Amino acid sequence: MVRAPVQGVELNQRPAGSRFASEEENMQMMISRRALLASAGISLMAARLPARAADAPIRIGVINDLSGPYSDIAGKGSIEAVRLAIEDFGKDAPGRPIEVLTADHQNKTDIGIAIAREWYDAKGVDLIVDVANSAIALGIQTLARERNKLVIFTSAASSDLTGKYCSPNGLSWGSDNWSNATALMRLLLQDKVDSFYFLTSDYAFGHSLESDSRAAIEAGGGKTLGSTKVPLNSSDFSSFLLTAQASGAKAVVLAMTGNDLSTALKQATEFGIAPGQHLATPNTYLSDVHALGLDVGKNLTFMQSWYWDLNDKSRAWSKRYFERMSRMPNDNHAALYSAVLHYLGGVKTAGSNEPAAVLKAMRATPISDMFAAKAVIRDDGRVVYDRYLVRVKNPSESKGPWDLLHIVSKLDADKAYRPVADGGCSLVAKK
Amino acid sequence: MAAAAAFLDIGDLHGWYGESHVLHGVTMAVGKGETIAILGRNGAGKTSTLRAVMGILRKRRGVVRLDGADLLALPPYRIPRMGIGYVPEERGIFSSLTVEENLLLPKQVAEQGLPLDEIHALFPNLHERRNSSGTKLSGGEQQMLAIARILRTGARLLLLDEPTEGLAPVIVQRIGAVIGTLKARGYTIVLVEQNFRFAARLADRLYVMENGQIADVFATSELDARMSSLHTYLGV
Amino acid sequence: MVTIFGVPAAALYGQLLVGLINGSFYALLSLGLAVIFGMLNVINVAHGAMYMLGAFAAWFLLHMFGISYWWALGLAPIAVALVGVVIERTTLRRVAHLDHLYGFLLTLGLAMVIEGLFRYWYGSSGQPYAIPSALAGGIKLPFMFLPIYRVWVVVVSLVVCLATWLVIERTHIGAHLRAATENAVLSQAFGLNVPLLVTLTYAGGVALAGLAGVLAAPIYQVSPLMGSNLIIVVFAVVVVGGMGSILGSIVTGYLLGIVEGMTRVYYPEASSIVIFVIMVVVLMLRPAGLFGREKDSAANASPPIGATQATGMDDKWAAIGALGVVAALIAAPALVYPVFLMKLMCFALFAAAFNLLIGFVGLLSFGHAAFFGSGAYIAAYAAKVWHLDPLLCVLAGTATGAVLGLLFGALAIRRSGIYFAMITLALAQMVYFIALQAPFTGGEDGIQDVPRGMLFGVLDLQHPVAMYGFVMAVFVVGMAVLWRVVRSPFGQVLKAIRENEARAISLGYDVQRFKLKAFVISAALAGAAGGTKALVFQLASLTDVTWQMSGDVVLMTLMGGIGTMLGPVVGAAVVVSLENALAGLEFPITVLIGAIFIACVLLFRRGIVGEVQQWFARLSRVSN
């Protein structure tokens, strides 16, 4: 068997501005499509043995936002994380060729779904990962189930993916809104912060984050005074911030992420929101903090699944990542690495690409790697592990450009994620 | 006929508005200090000739020389700077400028330009109304403004396109007097007119245009003799 | 607590102040735009890109050379002005003698190229730029904490606007500018160096945008997209203020900022459309804008857009062309991806519908995506929720287009040229924002999983051959309708209106009714194309109603040949194929498409089909 280095075959489909991503319809077309594909010059690893099902390449598709407001959260870093996983996997157990396809969905639902459809139907993609957009994620969740393929989310935060929209073909490996929101709200309530105003990104992710947060607030005896829906990619939040300020709520929750979050925080500082009001940012990534700078971001608290400076293993891996990206990885990058590594292990163990078999193998094998000491795949598709409450350092505490977070405490896996019975997932056996 | 070299020399000038061929080889010569008038009925090509000289009519072919300098080769905005003052048919007063701004608009091209106080003395109305918008003036006053404006520049060749059109006889007289004064001061004047009696009082020679060409040319002294043919040309 | 209409007074004052601050940007930007429009008669679509360049210049100066904000305030606008000089001299000058809509399209292409390049180099996320320390912090007012920097912005913009107004209205050079704006030809006859004035005006106008960019850098994100988010609003401000009026754009800029602020307090969902609503109302009551003066349209004697096509050969050519296209469509699925072909047909029909207006009536509609997208949404909804027969769904889309066309048309038809384009753009933006907010459209998610249905209850359109046949039928019928319209006496009148509207009126034709009918037909067919597309892709989304989509269809038609029957089909084929072929490249497509746009406007105004027709006409002339 020949070694399987990563194929540099990145069919980088970046149909920028193109609502014209082509779309495959059914099996009939697949054959001629494969012919087209072959002639389009996709280099498959030269196999010594004639291609049989067992030697057919494993194709992993990484789809996310490569050029928009979320391009630093997942973006190119996700592609590197996947490559690292494939390299590490190949190191231990040589096997089938593995190909990576990448695409930029530009946060446009129709483009994202069209690409995913084509990948599953025509390009032989077995697994789609990352996604970085909850609306698109929901669409791909349906597609994966219909086409009997797999999808693993590491940067799509809607907790509905393991709740009412759960699927036997989809796993959530990265954090989700319930986890991010609930822990943070509970913390604030503990500190007697009991009234809240929301500024929410106006689409699936934001709505989901807001509803999860509100549930936690109510459960904890707090009150939501109001909420304003903010369009994606806004440049000016001043009016919204003023409204939040005028509400008199003790905390302003910024239910947004990426660029929007950085801008809103920057302007919140400008308008003196804090210290009069608490700024809560449930869905925050390391890259956001870095973009903000410690002057603006200091003392923010939020949940993280992992941090590059957590332990020796994480530091070692992050060093490798840094050499390629010149940035430190976010926790979702590490989650993606872990997910792909484990998936490949599952394929090897199962001896096939077939989703049910692979998932069975993945569930049977314990997950323990650089990302999580112990992680478990639940029935609803949620992967659970211990999480950490972090606080952004003061400028004086930081000794380097990426020395940004201070680990405050650890939250056990069973408390960090929504209880499996509460999500409304139909796959969960009623006990 | 003056045998001296022409101050303004136009030779076989053809001109087009788009596809429309309006000037079919105009030839005329104006000596320095001469006053000539171009007569003809509507559409004969009189205004087009002046526009061709000024570069407003862009598509041209032929010869146009001022004191030997080739005007056709110049970009339109340089032509006035050669010392030509143009008073267009529509007077060309800018409504977005005040009277004073209209007056001061064209650049000074020579030192012989009339100083401002002399102009104000010659045209007292303009001084009074200097801060109103240019088009708030009466027709006659606008005409005065149009003439005053180019006097300030020091241009020695004046192209006047129908300066009396639509004006009351009293104003026409005044304008006639002004032009007479200019003539006495040695300006070279090309006057386009439908009112040939007005033109005859001022001009040394008369050109008659028809269908984009010069149909006839004669000294003013010969006017009476040419009266009937003139009437034919003018369609009176 | 004092409340005004239910809102605490404190909140209101705060929002008013914020509105004033936003208004400062609107005023500065629309001032530059108005100055440029006054002189060049071009709506500078690239203005947003210039604003962005100013911000990037400031960022660049700081991060590469350590040059502070204070220097950037002067240097960045100068840099942007230099870019403006280059643009005016090399491109705008060449189309100055043509229909002014070409200038509009040219600057659109420029905007695409510039923004695309920056997006490629810097990504869409913002670059950080700090507020200069001298301006940091704020003043504690009873109703809000007022950041000092924002006060600075208001002060600077007021000063600059006032200074610009003074220069234009009260100085000698200003007199030159005003004269050249009023009558460029005559001004030259008085010795004014008008070409230089034009260049300086353009440079000055974009310098103002660049200054606005520097002011924006510390508070908004320095990102390649910052301009395109603002530019449509600025257009609306300029139109409301009066397109050549300096005072109008300044006053309206501040006013609209405040109105927007108020709307955010009482009815936040409407805050994005309020400006467009105002624009529509103002245009109906005072067509020249609040402070504007009707520009003498006779002063521009250039041939109307689309009038340069060789006619004569049309009949024979059209017949050959039509047969060729149909034959190709029947044969093609064996070689080319059927779904791709279906997409092509939808866009070809869309472009052909658009072409009816611009090619045969001489009206550039910059909001056709509204009809296309609405047709898509209604058809999708009809299929998914009402489970209608696919033919009925497409017809529903067509009807939607027609109704919207009637609405838009009634408002826009009275105007022509650039005003018409602006009104259609504004109306289309309103449709976009409604689509964003309305619950049935699914907002950012769109309407997904649209079933294709069973045609007449028997033919399952999930089957690719059936679907292909259906789409082809729609396409052929649509094109046939257009053909009939163009060839009919009705079509002849339309052409007469395009050539010389005044003459047509004098001949006794009710020109407005003819134009309106044409508009409705065009909109209806665009709706049909959109509805069909929704069924092909089983999806209707926001992209279908964006102004970029409107721009796309303009490009297709321009590239193919405005005013020809085959042109839009060819243009759509080329553009769609290009976008597909280029999708795999790293290099952004917007840049390439923008460059092609520019090339078409500068060099290939006749478009592919137009050039071919011209070539054949010349050949036959030679052989005769």
Interface contacts (A, C; CB < 8 Å): 183
Whether residue A408 sits in one domain with residue A336: no
Closest residue in A to C230 (Cα–Cα): A235
Q: Report yes or no: C190 at the A interface, CB cutoff 8 Å.
A: no
Q: Do C189 and B76 touch (CB under 8 A)?
A: yes
Q: Residues 95-124, chain A: which have Cβ within 8 Å of C?
A: 107-111, 113-114
* Mean pLDDT of all residues belonging to chain B: 88
Give me the residue label for tokens 């700077």: B81
Q: Report yes or no: B104 at the C interface, CB cutoff 8 Å.
A: yes
Whether residue A185 sits in one domain with residue A129: no
Whether residue A96 sits in one domain with residue A18: yes
Say how far apart CA C233 and CA B161 lie, in whole Å: 47
Could you give the percent of chain A with pLDDT greater than 90? Answer: 44
Q: Do B96 and C186 touch (CB under 8 A)?
A: no
Q: Report yes or no: B55 at the C interface, CB cutoff 8 Å.
A: yes
Which member of A18, A203, A293 has the closest CB to residue C444?
Answer: A203
Whether residue A159 sits in one domain with residue A24: yes
Best of C185, C246, C500 to disrupt the B interface by mutation (most B CBs within 10 Å)?
C185
Whether residue A315 sits in one domain with residue A273: no
The pLDDT of residue A323: 95
Average pLDDT over residues A56-78: 86
Q: Which residues contact B177 (CB under 8 A, 6 or more apart)?
A: none
Whether residue A195 sits in one domain with residue A143: no
Q: Which residues contact B37 (CB under 8 A, 6 or more apart)?
A: B190, B191, B192, B193, B196, B199, B200, B202, B203, B205, B206, B207
The pLDDT of residue C612: 85
Residue A323 lies in a domain: yes
Q: Report yes or no: C384 at the A interface, CB cutoff 8 Å.
A: no
Domains of chain B: 33-58+76-234 (3.40.50.300)
Q: Report yes or no: C167 at the B interface, CB cutoff 8 Å.
A: no
Neighbours of C420 (CB within 10 A): 23
Q: Do C544 and A19 touch (CB under 8 A)?
A: yes
The pLDDT of residue A34: 38
Q: Report yes or no: A8 at the C interface, CB cutoff 8 Å.
A: no
Q: Do C543 and A19 touch (CB under 8 A)?
A: yes
Say how far apart CA A274 and CA A297 lie, in whole Å: 11
Neighbours of C117 (CB within 10 A): 17
The pLDDT of residue C306: 62
Say how far apart CA C227 and CA C52 lie, in whole Å: 5
Residue A430 lies in a domain: no
Whether residue A348 sits in one domain with residue A289: no
Q: Do B92 and C191 touch (CB under 8 A)?
A: no
Q: Which residues of B touch C194 (CB under 8 A)?
A: 77
Q: Which residues of C touch B87 (CB under 8 A)?
A: none
Q: Report yes or no: C580 at the A interface, CB cutoff 8 Å.
A: yes
Best of B78, B93, B101, B153 to disrupt the C interface by mutation (most C CBs within 10 Å)?
B101
A343-357, B39-53, C16-30, C281-295: the lowest-pLDDT one? C281-295
What is the tens place of the pLDDT at every residue in B169-192?
A: 988 998 899 899 899 989 999 999
The pLDDT of residue A56: 76
Closest CA to C379 of C401, C394, C369, C399: C394
- Say which amino acid occupies C324: G
The pLDDT of residue C178: 92
Q: Report yes or no: C132 at the A interface, CB cutoff 8 Å.
A: no
Say how far apart CA C381 and CA C448 lie, in whole Å: 10
The pLDDT of residue C303: 60
Q: Report yes or no: A415 at the C interface, CB cutoff 8 Å.
A: no
Shortest alpha-carbon distance between residue C489 and chain B (Å): 28
pLDDT > 90? residue A403 = yes
Q: Do A114 and C220 touch (CB under 8 A)?
A: no
Closest residue in C to B155 (Cα–Cα): C190
Q: Residues 298-327, chain C: which have Cβ within 8 Å of B?
A: 301
Residue A431 lies in a domain: no
DSSP for A352-413 reads S--HHHHHHHHHHSPB-SSS-SSBEE-TTSBEE--EEEEEEPPGGG--STT--EEEEEEE-H
Q: Which residues of C touch B101 (CB under 8 A)?
A: 172, 175, 178
Q: Report yes or no: B80 at the C interface, CB cutoff 8 Å.
A: yes
Which member of B77, B86, B96 has the closest CB to residue C193?
Answer: B77
pLDDT > 80? residue A224 = yes
Shortest alpha-carbon distance between residue C180 and chain B (Å): 9
Structural element, H or E, at residue C434: helix C417-437
Q: Report yes or no: B58 at the C interface, CB cutoff 8 Å.
A: no
Q: Which fold has domain C3-290?
A: ABC transporter involved in vitamin B12 uptake, BtuC (1.10.3470)
Whether residue A51 sits in one domain with residue A155: yes
Q: Report yes or no: B101 at the C interface, CB cutoff 8 Å.
A: yes
- Domain that includes residue A165, residue range: 6-175+310-384
Q: Do C and B count as touching (3 or more CB pairs closer than 8 A)?
A: yes
Q: Which residues of C touch B79 (CB under 8 A)?
A: 189, 191
pLDDT band at A13 (very low <50, low <70, confident <90, very high): very low
Say how far apart CA C487 and CA C319 lie, in whole Å: 12
Average pLDDT over residues A170-188: 91
Q: Report yes or no: B62 at the C interface, CB cutoff 8 Å.
A: no
Closest CA to A254 of A280, A291, A275: A280
In angstroms, what CA-CA distances link B216 with A25, A396, B39, B229? 83, 97, 10, 9
In angstroms, what CA-CA distances link C596 with A375, C106, C108? 53, 10, 11
Q: Do B56 and C185 touch (CB under 8 A)?
A: yes
> What subunits make at least 3 CB pairs under 8 angstroms with B?
C
Closest CA to A161 of A208, A127, A106: A208
The pLDDT of residue B1: 45
CATH number at residue A405: 3.40.50.2300
How many domains in chain A? Answer: 2
Cβ C401 vs Cβ C428: under 8 Å: no
The pLDDT of residue C239: 85
Whether residue A13 sits in one domain with residue A145: yes
Which member of C19, C116, C221 has the closest CB to residue A259?
Answer: C221
**pTM assigned to the model:** 0.85
Best of A9, A10, A14, A19 to disrupt the C interface by mutation (most C CBs within 10 Å)?
A19
Q: Report yes or no: B1 at the C interface, CB cutoff 8 Å.
A: no
Cβ A263 vs Cβ A290: under 8 Å: no
**A58 bridge partner residues:** A98
The distance of Cα A57 from the centroid of its chain, to the nearest Å, equals 25
Whether residue A353 sits in one domain with residue A248: no
Shortest alpha-carbon distance between residue B231 and chain C (Å): 33
Say how far apart CA C304 and CA C357 lie, in whole Å: 12
| Backbone angles phi and psi of B84, in degrees to 5 | -110, 135
Q: Do B97 and C179 touch (CB under 8 A)?
A: yes
Could you give the percent of chain C with pLDDT greater than 70? Answer: 94
Neighbours of A322 (CB within 10 A): 15
Shortest alpha-carbon distance between residue C192 and chain B (Å): 6
Q: Do A17 and C537 touch (CB under 8 A)?
A: no
Thinking of the domain C314-623, which architecture would CATH place it in?
A: Orthogonal Bundle (1.10)
Residue A51 lies in a domain: yes
Whether residue A294 sits in one domain with residue A408: yes
Say how far apart CA C88 and CA C85 lie, in whole Å: 5
Cβ B192 vs Cβ B162: under 8 Å: yes
What is the tens place of the pLDDT at every residue in A84-130?
A: 999 998 866 667 889 999 988 877 777 788 788 888 987 889 999 99
Closest residue in A to C219 (Cα–Cα): A267
Whether residue A405 sits in one domain with residue A338: no
Average pLDDT over residues B101-129: 84
ipTM: 0.91
Q: Report yes or no: B187 at the C interface, CB cutoff 8 Å.
A: no
Closest CA to C427 of C281, C287, C256, C285: C281
The pLDDT of residue A12: 35
> What subunits make at least 3 CB pairs under 8 angstroms with C?
A, B
Best of C35, C188, C200, C291 to disrupt the B interface by mutation (most B CBs within 10 Å)?
C188
Which member of A11, A22, A258 has the closest CB to residue C580?
Answer: A22
Cβ B72 vs Cβ B12: under 8 Å: no
Closest residue in B to C293 (Cα–Cα): B96
Closest CA to A105 of A129, A81, A80: A129
Provide the residue ranges of all domains of chain C, joining segments of one domain with +: 3-290, 314-623
Task: Please list the ranges in chain C whose pLDDT falls under 50.
Answer: 296-301, 310, 312-313
The pLDDT of residue C117: 93
Q: Which residues contact C309 (CB under 8 A, 6 or more apart)?
A: C359, C561, C562, C563, C564, C606, C610, C613
Domains C3-290 and C314-623 share a fold: yes
How much is the CA Rg of chain B, to the nearest whole Å? 17
The pLDDT of residue A1: 29
Q: Do C189 and B104 touch (CB under 8 A)?
A: no
Residue A1 lies in a domain: no
CA C35, C164, B104 angle in degrees (round to 5)? Answer: 85
Q: Which residues of B173-191 are buried (b: 16+ CB within 10 A; e: fewer)?
A: ebbbebbeebbeeebbbbb
Q: Do C191 and B107 touch (CB under 8 A)?
A: yes
